[in-house]
Each structure stands twice: as structure tokens, then as C-alpha cells.
Amino acid sequence: MTFSVVILAAGKGTRMKSNLPKVLHPIGGKPMVQHIIDTVRQIGAENINLIYGHGGDQLQQALAHNQMNWCLQAEQLGTGHAVQQAIPHLNDKQDVLILVGDAPLIKASTLEQLLAVKQHADLALLTVQLDDPTGMGRIIRKGEQVTAIVEHKDATIEQLAISEINTGMMIMGSKDLKRWLSQLDNNNSQGEFYLTDVIAMAATEGKTIKASHPSSAVEVEGINNRMQLAKIERAFQLNQANVLMSKGVTLCDPQRFDLRGDLVVGQDIVIDINVVIEGTVSIGSNVTIGPNCVLIDCEIGDGTVIEANSIIEQAKVAENCSVGPFARLRPGTVLLEKSKVGNFVELKKTTLGVGSKANHFTYLGDTTVGSKVNIGAGTITCNYDGVNKFKTEIGDGAFIGSNSSLVAPLTIGKNATVGAGSTITKSIEDEELAIARTKQRNIAGWQRPVKKS
């Protein structure tokens, strides 16, 4: 079945207190409206129409990668007026699924169920029962048949007692929708053209109107302020945590876990508290990730341990490695099997060979390190002259003494040794020892500097 989609995303979202359009505020690291676009793509939508208004330039920049029609609602005159902006793009032979842009948790399965209900009705809408329906449009029924939706401000006392509410999501034939939209008026307390009025029009024409319901109310909750944004973020993250745990991942506290992208996992992974995962990340089996780590667009091999407070970004870590605590692997870093990066070590565009170690207080940039190399504490590569970057190459089995400065471009041969405290400016051949220190002088009677008044 082919169908069109209209997403209502023109509101300013004044209660967000933000210069960012409301529907661009992120859930799980992605604009909330992008979640909805991705979901309708998942269920086979061919024709997506986004109704936009406030912050149009920001929206078009953030969502430019999506294939869809941009429908400007220059004046916000109500939901009915908003849908009218999509009329030129609607095929008379298709159904039209109307969604709101600020309810990012709507599930594909819920929308598929709504589409299925429409197969046996002229109009199908998504409704939900709420303990506190304050501010929401009420569903009016005659028996099982839905006959109208009454907005909260226009409802009578009896209607306000109804707990079944409108979610703003519905589907109907395009021809019917166009006809009903043309008949809307703004004779109501808000002076707006309500989309919900089409329900009463359909009922008057004797159309069959059926309701469908989400699996939980949180699916259809809208976001209007920062408190609701935080609530939906936690609901989204808890759902992702539950999916991961069902795949064999141990989360020490699912409430303190954030996945802001796509994660591929093996089995028997343990993830401690406050771990943030962004972008596209893969984690192999039998991996342990300590608390407060950040993983961004990276690959972690089987059996690796990531200690607390480490950051890994656009890097590849092979099997049985050890990283951290307090380590930072920057873009372009590759750790080969059984290598080790210890506390307060930073690597950028560096390959650390099989079984090699940089255990303490080290910076390696634009460096290739062979296998079974020991990098002493306090070692740095001086790879930048203020304009250009230069490479350092360290051969298999080399030993770099503590507190050494390696001034690139530089090659250190296999099994070569650098004495502690050396500044190395010339390449070292295989199995050579290089020591670059000035002769120690002890000066008697030296006067320390004093603070000037």
C-alpha cells in the first residue's frame, strides 16, 4: 500500500525558550522530527511532506539530506491550515497519514496498526486514554463510532470528563481530506482552522471512523518544554537500554546510559554507569567498558577492556587491548592486538603495534609504532612545527625511555633504545642507543628569583 505523509512541524515552540526550532531539539542525539521521518520511511512512505514555518532556514539545513516536500506555512492559523499547505503534493489515489513533529517516540508498529485499521474504515485516528487529559482534545463517541474531537478550550463540563484524547495522528483518503479542508472555518475560541473538525464532517457524511491505540502513552507524548524533552529523552534511552540487554549486554544501571546513534554489539559485554555512545559504534564480545567513558564512531574488538573516564573517537581498537583509565584516542588511531594505552595517554593518527605499550602520561601524534614497543612515561612526539605535521616511525621492539621528546620527522629503528630524558632530533638505526642530554651542572650559591614589588 502506498501512502503520503504530512508532518506538522511549523510551530515556534515558545515554551522551549530557545532560538532553535522545537522539532530540531535532539532526542538520542538526533532531531526529534528526524525520528519521525525515519519511522515513516521504515513503514514504506513514498511521499513525505513537512509543514514548516518558524526557523525555516535552520530546518532546511539540518534536514537537507531527506527526500521530501517542503511546505511553508507562513502564518500559523491552525492545524487544518497547516495541512492545507501540502495539498499540491497529495495524490488523490492515496491515503494521507498525518503526524505531529514533536512526538518522536511513535513506533513503526503503532503506525502499521493504524494503517491496518484504515483498511476497514474511511478514517482512522490514533487515540489514547490519559489519567490527566488536561489541555488535550477529547474524543466524542456514539457507541463505538467516533463522531467528533472537541478541543479542551471548546469542551463542555461533561466533555472535559472524557479521558480518551486525540494524539493529532490520523489517516484518511486524500480526496476526502481535500474536500473537508476546504470546508473548515475558524469559528472557535482560538480563531484557528482545526484539523480535528474533519472528524465531525466525516461523521456527518456517514463515514466509518475507527480508532487505534499505541502500546503505551509515552509513544504519543508531545514535547513543549525542556522538562518534557528530558522525560522523553530518558524514555527513549531506557527503551534502547532494554533492547541492548535483550541482546546480552549488561548495563550496570540502565538509567545512566546514553546511546546517541547506532550500536552493534557482541555478547557478554559489561557497560558501567554514565557511558555515552555517539555515532556508529561496534563493540565485540567479552568487552568491559568502565564508568564515564565516551565512545564516538569507533570499533572495539573482542576481549578489550576500556577503563574509566576514557574517550575513544573515530578510532579502531583490536582484540584484547587495554585502554585507560583517563585515556584519549583521537581520530585516526588504531590499536592492534594486545596493545595497551594507559592513564593520561593521548593518541592521534597513530597506530600502536601488536603488544606495544604506552602506559603513562604520553602524547603520540602522526606516529606508527611497531610491535612489542615500550613507550616510557612522559614521552611526546613533537609532530607540529606551527604550520605542518610530520610523522614519527618507531620500529619493532624499540624502547623509548621516560620523559623523551621525539622531534618529527623521525625514524627509530628496530630494537633501538632512547635514553630517558632525551630530545631526539635525528633518526636512530636498528639496535642503536641514543642519549641526548646536556651535561649536568650544579651551581653553588644560586639565587632564586624574587617577586617584584
Whole-number Å distance between alpha carbons of 334 and 35:
33
Residue 334 in 3-state DSSP?
A: strand
Whole-number Å distance between alpha carbons of 155 and 151:
6
213 classed as catalytic: no
The answer to whether the annotation marks 363 as part of a ligand binding site is: yes
Considering the candidates 54, 89, 152, 360, report the single residue annotated as catalytic. Answer: 360
The answer to whether the annotation marks 402 as part of a ligand binding site is: yes
The answer to whether the annotation marks 377 as part of a ligand binding site is: yes
The answer to whether the annotation marks 79 as part of a ligand binding site is: yes
The answer to whether the annotation marks 102 as part of a ligand binding site is: yes
Whole-number Å distance between alpha carbons of 358 and 207:
73
* Residues linked to residue 434 through DSSP beta bridges, in sequence order: 418
Host H or E run for residue 406: strand 405-407
| H helix and E strand count, the chain | 8, 35
The answer to whether the annotation marks 137 as part of a ligand binding site is: yes
Q: Would you tell me how many other CB atoms lie within 10 Å of the CB of residue 94?
A: 16
The answer to whether the annotation marks 420 as part of a ligand binding site is: yes
The answer to whether the annotation marks 129 as part of a ligand binding site is: no
The answer to whether the annotation marks 52 as part of a ligand binding site is: no
Distances (CA, A) of 244 to 28, 56, 269, 271, 307: 15, 36, 10, 11, 20
Write out the three cell numbers for 90. 497529495
The answer to whether the annotation marks 365 as part of a ligand binding site is: no
The answer to whether the annotation marks 384 as part of a ligand binding site is: yes
The answer to whether the annotation marks 432 as part of a ligand binding site is: no
The answer to whether the annotation marks 347 as part of a ligand binding site is: no
Whole-number Å distance between alpha carbons of 301 and 180:
58
| CA nearest neighbour of 264 among 248, 292, 284 | 284
The answer to whether the annotation marks 348 as part of a ligand binding site is: yes
CA torsion angle for 19, 21, 25, 29 (degrees, to 10)? -100
- Go through the chain and tell me how many residues it has: 453
The answer to whether the annotation marks 224 as part of a ligand binding site is: yes
Contacts of 62 (CB under 8 A, 6+ apart): 24, 31
The answer to whether the annotation marks 78 as part of a ligand binding site is: yes
The answer to whether the annotation marks 368 as part of a ligand binding site is: no
Contacts of 322 (CB under 8 A, 6+ apart): 304, 305, 307, 339, 340, 341, 342
What is the residue whose three cell numbers read 474504515? 121
Whole-number Å distance between alpha carbons of 60 and 56:
6
Binding residues for acetyl-CoA: 377, 383-384, 402, 420, 437
Binding residues for UDP-N-acetyl-alpha-D-glucosamine: 8-11, 22, 73, 78-79, 137, 151, 166, 224, 330, 348, 363, 374
Binding residues: 8-11, 22, 73, 78-79, 102, 137, 151, 166, 224, 330, 348, 363, 374, 377, 383-384, 402, 420, 437
Binding residues for Mg(2+): 102, 224
Catalytic residues: 360
